[in-house]
Amino acid sequence: MPRRRLFQVLLATVLSICLLALSGVVSAQGNSDKAFERVKEVQERHTAKLMAQKGVVGTAVGLTENDRPAVLVLLEEAGVAAVPAELDGVPVRPLVTGKIEALGSNRTSLSKGKARPKIDPTAWFSRPVPIGVSTGNATSYSAGTIGCRVSKGGKVYALSNNHVYALENQATAGQNGDKVVQPGLYDTGGTYNSANDIGTLADFVRIEFSTAASNTVDCAIAASSTSLLGNSTPADGYGTPTSETTTAAVGMAVQKYGRTTSLTRGTITAINATINIGYSSGTARFVGQIIVQSRSPFIKAGDSGSLLVTDPGKAPVGLLFAGDSSGKYAIANPIDAVLTALGVSVDGQ
Amino acid sequence: MPRRGLIVVGSVLLVLCGLDCQRAEIAQPQKGIAMPEKTIEQVQQECTDAWMAIPGVIGTAIGQREGKPCILVLTASNTVQVRRKIPSTVEGYPVVVQYTGEIRAR
């Protein structure tokens, strides 16, 4: 063969081999868009069947450990479902992701990064109702908060303020006492439904509406039962308070769960406060009170009756009942004064 | 004779206590007479009635400033005038006037 001809043939052969090799390499690696398209088809064709298996939380298109396009099968736990090694010629790779869940609403300032469900404390709650949610006297268009469950003599009671349950000394307590409801009438459009009863006003401490008075507590209890009243906050609160109480001290970190502002945190900045409090019946001077301060509103109208507990200990320290209009200053009765006055103890953990 | 002396001393002490709460006259303890140191709660209690009679004052409390106990005077209004009327120290305890606004049952 002439030299030139040989050269041409060789060149053509080399070129062909190169072309073949290139196309072969591409399809062997399979990383072209076409290859991923193919994997996607396989994924879509088999997803329903794969996800019907318990423990499979999803499927995806990804890469094997050797960087080859593959169908990924996402699992709740390792080995929880049978995953084939390949489907229709495409490699399948199991990947343990754990359960995938929608995160809670944007309340990171309160939840410190943990996902919590958003709950409305003014709503009706299935019985037994949690503490920290809307409640009120059934004869009044108002609403406050259930502080906690308390007990005496084998019976349980809902603890809140006099001005919430006893309507500033005006309500009837005892055997034929006023009913208390959950939610309070303010949160049910003003209509009373006896199906919402959770108790009967049993006792309260009278408030003396005078600036010369030395009131110590604004509290009341309604006789209830463990089938109507629980002893923990809703899931986005602090949970169950301890039965053992603690004494307020300046600088103590505290928290509360209430009908209006749910879970809030603050600091005790003052104790032994003598302070004039405004009520609809007039001004009442209180002594020995706890002052809580917070940068964002600690309590607002409707949070009255909330239990003040330590953060993070959950030990009861006070019963909240008053505040300034911004909510940054909150006033609480020392909890021991409340419990002693009513002859009850906290029914917590 | 001793009884009369006691009455005189007692009266002087009472007057001194009353004067302590107002900025106008800061009384000095009588030399030679031993005076027990009062607790911060006692000082708060002795001054509260006089202070809460000042327009704008709604309460008093025990707080902390720079890690040390202090007496707080809480106001809903007139804070500047209140500050002029109340001494910054009473019986060695700092007194801080703090505006909170009206406090209402919530």
Smallest Cα–Cα separation from A228: which of A181, A278, A291?
Answer: A181
CATH 3.30.300.50 corresponds to the domain A34-96? yes
Cβ of B106 within 8 Å of Cβ of A270? The answer is no
- Minimum distance, in Å, between the CA of residue A270 and any CA atom of chain B: 4
> Which residue stretches of chain A have pLDDT < 70?
1, 21-32, 52, 57-58, 60, 76-80, 95-117
* pLDDT at residue A5, as a whole number: 85
- Minimum distance, in Å, between the CA of residue B2 and any CA atom of chain A: 38
* pLDDT at residue A109, as a whole number: 44
Distance (Å, rounded) from C-alpha A314 to C-alpha A237?
11
Q: Is A187 helix (H, G, I), strand (E, B) or coil?
A: helix
Q: Is A123 on the interface with B (CB under 8 A)?
A: no
Residue length, chain B?
106
Contacts of B60 in chain A (CB under 8 A): 273-275
To which H or E segment does residue A45 belong?
A: helix A33-51
Each domain of chain A, given as residue ranges in start order, spans: 34-96, 134-346
Distance (Å, rounded) from C-alpha A338 to C-alpha A249?
17
CB pairs under 8 A between A and B: 86
* pLDDT at residue A58, as a whole number: 62
Cβ of B106 within 8 Å of Cβ of A321? The answer is yes
> Which residue stretches of chain B have pLDDT < 50?
19, 25
Say whether A134-346 and A34-96 share the same fold: no
Q: Are strands B68-75 and B57-65 parallel, antiparallel or unpaired?
A: antiparallel
C-beta separation of A145 from A258 below 8 A: yes
Whether the complex's predicted ipTM surpasses the cut of 0.85: no
Cβ of A274 within 8 Å of Cβ of B60? The answer is yes
* pLDDT at residue A221, as a whole number: 98
Q: What is the pTM of this model?
A: 0.71
- Minimum distance, in Å, between the CA of residue A124 and any CA atom of chain B: 21
Can you say whether the dihedral through the CA atoms of B65, B78, A324, A210 is positive or negative?
positive
**Residue that the structure tokens 């209140």 belong to:** B82
Which of the residues A161, A275, A333 would you substitute to probe the B interface, choosing the one with the greatest number of B C-beta atoms within 10 Å?
A: A275
* pLDDT at residue A19, as a whole number: 76
C-beta separation of B87 from B23 below 8 A: yes
Cβ of A304 within 8 Å of Cβ of B106? The answer is yes
β-sheet with A69-75: strand ranges across: A56-63, A69-75, A90-96, A86-87
Residue type, A51: M
Closest chain A CA to residue B69: A250
In the predicted model, what is the mean pLDDT of chain B?
A: 85
Superfamily of domain A134-346: Trypsin-like serine proteases (2.40.10.10)
What domains appear along chain B, each with residue ranges and CATH number?
2-99 (3.30.300)
Cβ of A278 within 8 Å of Cβ of B44? The answer is no
- Give the alpha-carbon dihedral of A92, A94, A99, A100, to 10 degrees: -50
- Minimum distance, in Å, between the CA of residue A267 and any CA atom of chain B: 12
